[in-house]
């Protein structure tokens, strides 16, 4: 079992969202169906931009909070630029 820290982006809102989950595919569907967080309900065009796998939920959440604590769009875009998703 693995856990994922992820960054998704909505072009409609021009916003990023950082989260962590056990099932990234199911979680992305929930974000786009309005069943995600209050923050992501405002848009239906969220797409995965970055992810990192972890062995434990604690590690995934620790990285999530570390990224959020920086409050930096530049840092988020830096992580995405180093991603192999695209």
Strands 3-10 and 46-54: antiparallel
d(CA 73, CA 80): 11
Residue 75: band (very low, low, confident or very high) from pLDDT cuts 50, 70, 90: very high
Between CA 4 and CA 53 the distance in angstroms is 5
- Three-class DSSP category at 5: strand
* pTM confidence score: 0.92
Which tokens belong to 18? 């950082």
* Local confidence band at 86 (pLDDT 50, 70, 90 cut-offs): low
Give the tens place of pLDDT for each residue, 38-49.
889 999 999 999
> What digits encode the pLDDT tens for the residues 16-68?
999 999 999 999 999 999 887 888 999 999 999 999 999 999 999 999 999 99
Residue 86 domain-assigned (yes or no):
no
pLDDT value for 11: 97
Q: Which structural domain, as residue segments, surrounds residue 67?
A: 3-81
Split into its structural domains, the chain has a count of 1
Closest by CA position to 18, among listed 82, 58, 73: 73
The CATH number linked to 17 is 3.40.1440.10
| pLDDT value at 76 more than 70 | yes
């Amino acid at each position: 079992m693995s856990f994922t820290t992820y960054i998704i982006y909505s072009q409609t809102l021009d916003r990023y969202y950082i989260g962590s989950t056990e099932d990234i595919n199911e979680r992305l569907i929930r974000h786009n169906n309005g069943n995600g967080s209050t923050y992501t309900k405002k848009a239906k065009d969220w797409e995965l931009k970055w992810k990192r796998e972890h062995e434990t939920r604690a590690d995934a959440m620790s990285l999530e909070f570390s990224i959020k604590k920086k409050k930096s769009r530049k840092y988020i875009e830096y992580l995405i630029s180093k991603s192999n998703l695209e």
